[in-house]
Amino acid sequence: MVCRLLEGKKGLIFGALNDLSIAWKVAERAVDEGALVVLSNTPMALRMGETHKLAEKLNTIVIPADATSVDDINELLSKTMDYFGGKIDFILHSIGMSPNVRKSKHYSDLDYGYLNKTLDVSAISFHKVIQSARKMDAINEWGSILGLSYVAAQRTFYGYNDMADAKALLESIGRSFGYIYGREKNVRINTISQSPTPTTAGQGVKGFDNLLDFSERMSPLGNATADECADYCLTMFSDYTRKVTMQNLFHDGGFSSMGMSLQAMQQYNKSFEYDKEHPFD
Amino acid sequence: MVCRLLEGKKGLIFGALNDLSIAWKVAERAVDEGALVVLSNTPMALRMGETHKLAEKLNTIVIPADATSVDDINELLSKTMDYFGGKIDFILHSIGMSPNVRKSKHYSDLDYGYLNKTLDVSAISFHKVIQSARKMDAINEWGSILGLSYVAAQRTFYGYNDMADAKALLESIGRSFGYIYGREKNVRINTISQSPTPTTAGQGVKGFDNLLDFSERMSPLGNATADECADYCLTMFSDYTRKVTMQNLFHDGGFSSMGMSLQAMQQYNKSFEYDKEHPFD
Amino acid sequence: MVCRLLEGKKGLIFGALNDLSIAWKVAERAVDEGALVVLSNTPMALRMGETHKLAEKLNTIVIPADATSVDDINELLSKTMDYFGGKIDFILHSIGMSPNVRKSKHYSDLDYGYLNKTLDVSAISFHKVIQSARKMDAINEWGSILGLSYVAAQRTFYGYNDMADAKALLESIGRSFGYIYGREKNVRINTISQSPTPTTAGQGVKGFDNLLDFSERMSPLGNATADECADYCLTMFSDYTRKVTMQNLFHDGGFSSMGMSLQAMQQYNKSFEYDKEHPFD
Amino acid sequence: MVCRLLEGKKGLIFGALNDLSIAWKVAERAVDEGALVVLSNTPMALRMGETHKLAEKLNTIVIPADATSVDDINELLSKTMDYFGGKIDFILHSIGMSPNVRKSKHYSDLDYGYLNKTLDVSAISFHKVIQSARKMDAINEWGSILGLSYVAAQRTFYGYNDMADAKALLESIGRSFGYIYGREKNVRINTISQSPTPTTAGQGVKGFDNLLDFSERMSPLGNATADECADYCLTMFSDYTRKVTMQNLFHDGGFSSMGMSLQAMQQYNKSFEYDKEHPFD
DSSP A225: P
CATH of the domain at B214: 3.40.50.720
The confidence band for B1, taking pLDDT boundaries of 50, 70 and 90, is: low
Distance from CA of C218 to the nearest CA of A (A): 10
Chains contacting D (3 or more CB pairs within 8 Å): A, B, C
DSSP-derived secondary structure for A107-141: GGG--HHHHHHHHIIIIIHHHHHHHHHHHTT-EEE
Mean of all residue pLDDT scores within chain B: 96
Distance from CA of C44 to the nearest CA of A (A): 32
Q: How many CB pairs under 8 A join C and D?
A: 145
Q: Are the C-beta atoms of residues B187 and B144 closer than 8 Å to each other?
A: yes
> By percentage, how much of chain A surpasses pLDDT 90?
93
Question: Does D1 score more than 70 pLDDT?
Answer: no
C-alpha span between A26 and A207 (Å, rounded): 27
List residues of chain D with CB under 8 Å from any CB of chain B.
151-152, 154-160, 207, 210-211, 213-214, 256-262, 265, 267-275, 277
Decide if A2 is inside a domain: no
The confidence band for A179, taking pLDDT boundaries of 50, 70 and 90, is: very high
B124: which chain C residues are within 8 Å (Cβ-Cβ)?
112, 115
Question: Does A195 score more than 90 pLDDT?
Answer: yes
C28 CB-near residues (< 8 Å, 6+ apart): C54, C57, C58, C230
C164: which chain B residues are within 8 Å (Cβ-Cβ)?
172, 175-176
Tell me the residue type at D174: G
Three-class SS of residue D243? Answer: coil
Decide if D205 is inside a domain: yes
What is the crossing angle of helices D70-84 and D125-135, to 10°? 50
When CB atoms are compared, the residue of D110, D116, D175 closest to A156 is D175
Interface test with B, best of A2, A3, A223 (most B CBs within 10 A): A3
When CB atoms are compared, the residue of B179, B239, B257 closest to A254 is B179
C-alpha span between D18 and D8 (Å, rounded): 25
CB contact (8 A) between residue B214 and residue D268? yes
Q: How many CB pairs under 8 A join A and D?
A: 86
List residues of chain A with CB under 8 Å from any CB of chain C.
151-152, 154-160, 207, 210-211, 213-214, 256-262, 265, 267-275, 277
Residue C225's pLDDT is 97
CB contact (8 A) between residue A107 and residue D155? no
Residue C201's pLDDT is 75
CB contact (8 A) between residue A110 and residue D116? no
Decide if B2 is inside a domain: no
The confidence band for B281, taking pLDDT boundaries of 50, 70 and 90, is: low
CB crowding B9-41: b at 16 or more within 10 Å, else e = bbbbbbbbbbebbbbbbbbbbbbbbebbbbbbb
Question: Does B201 score more than 80 pLDDT?
Answer: no
Residue of B nearest to A174 (CA): B257
Question: Does C47 score more than 90 pLDDT?
Answer: yes
Question: Does B202 score more than 80 pLDDT?
Answer: no
Question: Does D280 score more than 90 pLDDT?
Answer: no
Q: What is the per-residue pLDDT across D50-86, written as a single tens digit (0 to 9) for each?
A: 999 999 999 999 999 999 999 999 999 999 999 999 9
Decide if A116 is inside a domain: yes
Residue A202's pLDDT is 72
When CB atoms are compared, the residue of B158, B258, B273 closest to D274 is B273
Q: Could you tell me how many helices (H) and strands (E) chain D has, helices first?
A: 11, 9
Identify the residue with better confidence: A205 or A162: A162
Alpha carbon distance, N-terminus to C-terminus of chain D: 51
Question: Does C27 score more than 90 pLDDT?
Answer: yes
D260: which chain B residues are within 8 Å (Cβ-Cβ)?
157-158, 211, 214
Q: Are the C-beta atoms of residues A247 and B221 closer than 8 Å to each other?
A: no
Q: Could you tell me how many helices (H) and strands (E) chain A has, helices first?
A: 11, 9
- ipTM for this prediction: 0.97
Residue C53's pLDDT is 98
Q: What angle do CA C255, C188, C151 make, to 5 degrees?
A: 20
Q: What is the per-residue pLDDT across B7-65, written as a single tens digit (0 to 9) for each?
A: 999 999 999 999 999 999 999 999 999 999 999 999 999 999 999 999 999 999 999 99
Residue C207's pLDDT is 78
Global pTM reads: 0.98
Chains contacting C (3 or more CB pairs within 8 Å): A, B, D
Residue C208's pLDDT is 85
Question: Does D271 score more than 80 pLDDT?
Answer: yes
Distance from CA of C259 to the nearest CA of A (A): 5
CB contact (8 A) between residue D127 and residue A110? yes
Residue B200's pLDDT is 80
Question: Does B147 score more than 90 pLDDT?
Answer: yes
Distance from CA of A190 to the nearest CA of D (A): 14
Question: Does D164 score more than 90 pLDDT?
Answer: yes
Q: How many domains does one find in chain C?
A: 1
**Mean pLDDT on C90-98:** 97
Which has the closest alpha carbon to B15: B72, B79, B86, B67? B67
> By percentage, how much of chain A surpasses pLDDT 70?
98
C129 CB-near residues (< 8 Å, 6+ apart): C14, C67, C73, C91, C93
Mean of all residue pLDDT scores within chain A: 96
Residue C241's pLDDT is 98
Question: Does A1 score more than 70 pLDDT?
Answer: no
Q: What is the per-residue pLDDT across D167-215, written as a single tens digit (0 to 9) for each?
A: 999 999 999 999 999 999 999 999 999 999 988 877 766 678 889 999 9
Decide if C4 is inside a domain: no
Question: In chain A, what are the helix, strand and coil shares in percent, each to the nearest 5?
Answer: 50, 15, 30
- Phi, psi dihedral angles at B37 (to 5 degrees): -130, 155
Residue D281's pLDDT is 67
Question: Does C204 score more than 80 pLDDT?
Answer: no
When CB atoms are compared, the residue of C256, C269, C274 closest to A210 is C269
Tell me the residue type at D3: C
Distance from CA of B168 to the nearest CA of D (A): 13
Q: What is the per-residue pLDDT across C220-246, written as a single tens digit (0 to 9) for each?
A: 999 999 999 999 999 999 999 999 999
Q: What is the per-residue pLDDT across A113-133, written as a single tens digit (0 to 9) for each?
A: 999 999 999 999 999 999 999
Identify the residue with better confidence: A281 or A166: A166
Q: Are the C-beta atoms of residues C156 and A258 closer than 8 Å to each other?
A: yes
Question: Does C1 score more than 80 pLDDT?
Answer: no
D187: which chain C residues are within 8 Å (Cβ-Cβ)?
none
Residue of C nearest to D243 (CA): C253
Range of the domain at C71: 10-277
C-alpha span between D30 and B88 (Å, rounded): 63
Distance from CA of D93 to the nearest CA of C (A): 20
Which has the closest alpha carbon to A269: D133, C207, D65? C207
CB contact (8 A) between residue B210 and residue D158? no
Identify the residue with better confidence: A204 or C231: C231
C238: which chain D residues are within 8 Å (Cβ-Cβ)?
1, 235
C-alpha span between C108 and D193 (Å, rounded): 39
CB contact (8 A) between residue B262 and residue D211? no
Output the 3-class SS for chain B. CCCCCCCCCEEEEECCCCCCCHHHHHHHHHHHCCCEEEEEECHHHHHHCCHHHHHHHHCCCEEECCCCCHHHHHHHHHHHHHHHCCCEEEEEECCCCCHHHHCCCCHHHCCHHHHHHHHHHHHHHHHHHHHHHHHCCCEEEEEEEEEEECHHHCCEECCCCHHHHHHHHHHHHHHHHHHHHHHHHCCEEEEEEECCCCCCCHHHCCCHHHHHHHHHHHCCCCCCCHHHHHHHHHHHHCHHHCCCCCCEEEECCCHHHEEECHHHHHHHHHHHHHHHHCCCC
Decide if D3 is inside a domain: no
Question: Does A206 score more than 80 pLDDT?
Answer: no
Other CB atoms within a 10 A radius of the CB of residue A278 amount to 12
Weakest-pLDDT range from B198-207, D118-127, D220-229? B198-207
List residues of chain D with CB under 8 Å from any CB of chain A.
70, 107-110, 112, 115-116, 119, 124, 127-128, 131, 134-135, 153, 155-156, 158, 161-162, 164-165, 167-169, 171-173, 175-181, 246
The confidence band for C202, taking pLDDT boundaries of 50, 70 and 90, is: confident
The confidence band for D29, taking pLDDT boundaries of 50, 70 and 90, is: very high
When CB atoms are compared, the residue of B151, B158, B262 closest to D158 is B262
CB contact (8 A) between residue C244 and residue D249? yes
Which has the closest alpha carbon to B142: B3, B10, B2? B10
Decide if A5 is inside a domain: no
Radius of gyration of chain A (CA): 19
CB contact (8 A) between residue B231 and residue A224? no
**Mean pLDDT on B183-199:** 96
The confidence band for D108, taking pLDDT boundaries of 50, 70 and 90, is: very high
What is the crossing angle of helices A112-119 and A162-185, to 10°? 30
Decide if D186 is inside a domain: yes
